[in-house]
A and B are shown apart, each in its own frame.
Chain A
Amino acid sequence: MARIEVPMPQMGESIAEGTVSKWMKQVGDAVQRDEPILEISTDKVDAEIPAPSSGTLVEIVVAEGATVEVGTVVGYIDTEVGLNALPPLEAPVAEPEAPTPPVAEAVVDQPPVTPTAVEPDAESGTPDSAEERLRTRSTPVVRRIAEEHGIDISSVSGSGHAGRVTKQDILDFIASGGAVESQPAPAAPAPAVRASTPAPSAPVAPAAASAPSDLWKRFYGEVQHPEFPIREADRVEPMDKIRRLTAEHMVLAKRVAPHVHSFIEVDFTAVDAIRSANKKKWAEQGAKVSYTSFVAWAVSRVLREFPMVISTVSGNNVIYRGNVNLGMAVDLNPGLIVPVIKDADDLSLVGIARKLNDLADRARTRQLMPDEIQGATFSITNPGVLGTLVGLPVIPKGTAAILGTGAIEKRVVVVEDPATGGDAMVIRKRCLFSLGYDHRIVDGADAARFLARLKEVVDDFPEDA
């Protein structure tokens, strides 16, 4: 058998000694290699000391509270110790309290506990074929433990190589109450240290970890931006509040929702005609009806047909929103804010236009009320206003989709000539729409149907909107 020393480890070049603050294992306990077996402390440091090898802790030489030089043997592990050195299994079970570690005097005065284990002659007896099979699956130590506890090894699931039952497996099996108490444990003397009186002062118990409030959310769900080195010609400025919130929102939005984008080309010729026809009337009413107002109106009439597009994935549920609240991205240059047109489906085209102008004006003069930028169930952004062909917008957190409208420009398109019934090239005002959608809840076909329906409304924009 191999008796391995557990020395006070070298925890630092200038550290000459350490104090055993706590034995985490007791004599007789099985230990796994690298499993912490004791805690030591030096002036400002506590350290858990792992077992140098697997086996059984057979002796504690230095008790809690004692300070010894680095290199001093504090305990012994036996790598092959059999059951004889194990404590009676009933004893620890019967102890109502947490195991108490031994005190110094009791330990130091004891001669090393020499387990009387003699490798049993496993090959003796007349092995039948079943026994042969068992032997291929377990070591003599395991078999002896099994025998002495009346355990049929074949009923223990093995975690070792090729399903072999390891000693830990069988000890776990016993600990979990799997053993049939058909035979008492042998009357091997328990290691003397176990008989010693408990340490007078209990070690300081770690603070009970309370329910960790929302800390996990903060730690794992919060956005933190990596830092980069600053070069000589650079200028560093803190982000202002809007930028900071935007940055955080964008990271979270992208992190949570799997984004997919689909596109459709829309014809604004009908919209243009309505705009020209009503320009004078609207000017008299003091209303400025932009292309974006037309888009918002069309979207607001279509959305209710596609409940998944105004939904939100929330945990394992889907919240289908009851209101058509359109978040309208407004460029503040610099910065961006998304005021909300509440219940847009209740408003006429001119009503939407008025609301939109009011919100945009007050966004630019920073006069929006907090509730005017909350509660969007769908968003519209217009990168096309600056000539961009199309964008791939980020879906705002808590919604399922966002529409991006590209530049509205004259393009040559092929249409059916109503006069001849043949194809004809014509010049039309066209625009690309992109729909960014949360693929957890909106399928590609849903998006396609939504965009097709939206195109239908815009292409044939009703005159009485």
Chain B
Amino acid sequence: MPDPLESVTSRGGLEVRWLGRVPYSDGLALQEDVVLRRKSGEVPDTLLLLEHPHVITLGTASTAEHVLVGDQERAELGVDLVEVGRGGDVTYHGPGQLVGYPILDLKPDRKDLHRYLRDLEEVVIRSVRSMGVPARRVPGLTGVWTDLGKIAAIGVRVSSGWITSHGFALNVHTDLTFFRTIVPCGISDQDVTSLSRELGRDVSLDEVRPSVIRAFKEVFGHGSV
């Protein structure tokens, strides 16, 4: 049986995978696996797209104070708590949020982590704009904002010699009340928003995904297969 990844992707292309709703810890394990496969050259650059069930994640820079709910209330809300080896502070993930985990080899010509963060922001900005929502960066901060608030969070990791993991989380039709359980990425005076809130209608992940994939390929220069 041929490797399914090889069978649909030419070398140097981008493999995009929509995984549906995936428990956070499964997503972590899968990323580790794909990182190793990317390092060995077994798979091409890969963009994992998925959504998570309700979960609060603590980055390596996390402060416990940024989780605003106690364990009991958190459990009642059905929200998991996971500590995770990526940059950034506390983050909420949940249904309606399009999570992108690019597993890219930044060698040889993209070995700049700030540029990589800005590139991820650019992907989100372009895809959000193509949906008719103006979005921008905020100098000194990482993420993407609209006039109403922060629409996407970004936190990444490089390991195995410039192989990326983790990535971005774009609020599409996220239930924003869940963000009240945390201080998003340690920024307490910033509101959060979603595409559905911006557009005043229910926007589905299916609707947004193509524009994210397109923007990703544009920004990272992955030609079509």
Contact = CB atoms under 8 A, between A and B. Distances in A.
A21 B59 CA distance: 11
Given A42-B113, A205-B83, A227-B225, A215 B26 contact: yes
13 contacts: A11-B112, A12-B113, A12-B114, A22-B60, A34-B161, A42-B114, A44-B156, A204-B58, A209-B25, A210-B26, A213-B23, A219-B17, A225-B8
Given A11-B113, A210-B26, A212-B30, A204 B62 contact: yes
A39 interface: yes
Interface residues of A, number: 45
A431 to B, nearest CB: 34
Contact of B26 (A46, A203, A212): A212
A21 B60 contact: yes
A464 interface: no
Given A213-B23, A219-B19, A206 B83 contact: yes
A208 interface: yes
B74 interface: no
Given A209-B28, A210-B26, A204 B85 contact: yes
* Minimum-distance CB pairs A-B, first 6: A209-B29, A12-B114, A226-B225, A12-B112, A44-B142, A48-B159
A210 B29 CA distance: 8
Given A44-B142, A47-B159, A13 B112 contact: yes
A256 B29 contact: no
A22 to B, nearest CB: 8
Residue among A50, A204, A221 with most chain B CB within 10 A: A204
Q: Is the interface of B mostly helix, strand, loop or mixed?
A: mixed
Nearest to A36: B159
Contact of A206 (B22, B85, B114): B85
Nearest to B206: A238
A255 interface: yes
A146 B22 CA distance: 50
Interface string B12-36: 0100111110111111111010000
Interface in B107-130: 111-117
Interface residues on B, range: 35 or more
B85 A224 contact: no
A44 B87 contact: yes
Interface string B141-165: 0100000000000111111110000
Contact of A228 (B28, B30, B224): B224
Contacts of B116: 12, 45
A264 interface: no
B99 to A, nearest CB: 14
A421 interface: no
Contacts of B158: 11, 45-48
Contacts of A206: 28, 83-85
A130 B173 CA distance: 75
B22 A210 contact: no
Contacts of A229: 224
B44 to A, nearest CB: 11
Contacts of A34: 161
Contacts of A227: 16, 213, 224-225
Contact of A12 (B29, B115, B159): B115
A48 B154 contact: no
B196 interface: no
Interface in A161-179: none
A222 B30 CA distance: 15
A77 B23 CA distance: 40
Nearest to A215: B26
Contacts of B62: 204
B70 interface: no
Q: Is the interface of A mostly helix, strand, loop or mixed?
A: loop
Interface of A: 11-15, 21-22, 34, 36, 39, 41-48, 50, 203-210, 212-213, 215-216, 218-229, 255-256
A219 B16 CA distance: 10
B2 to A, nearest CB: 7
B24 A215 contact: no
A47 B7 contact: no
Contact of B115 (A13, A47, A212, A255): A13
Contacts of A42: 87, 113-114
Contact of A220 (B4, B60, B142): B4
Given A219-B19, A228-B224, A204 B83 contact: yes
A45 B225 contact: no
A35 to B, nearest CB: 10
A21 B111 CA distance: 20
A46 B60 contact: yes
A366 to B, nearest CB: 23
Contacts of A226: 8-9, 13, 224-225
A215 B52 CA distance: 13
Contacts of B7: 255
A129 to B, nearest CB: 43
A256 B7 CA distance: 12
B69 interface: no
A45 B26 contact: no
A44 B159 contact: no
Contacts of B83: 204-207
Given A11-B111, A41-B61, 11 more contacts: A11-B112, A11-B114, A12-B115, A22-B60, A44-B87, A45-B116, A205-B83, A215-B26, A223-B4, A227-B16, A227-B224
Given A34-B161, A213-B26, A46 B87 contact: yes
A256 B142 contact: no
B100 interface: no
B221 to A, nearest CB: 14
A222 B18 CA distance: 10
B214 to A, nearest CB: 9
A215 B30 contact: yes
Nearest to B210: A227
A212 B224 CA distance: 31
A316 to B, nearest CB: 14
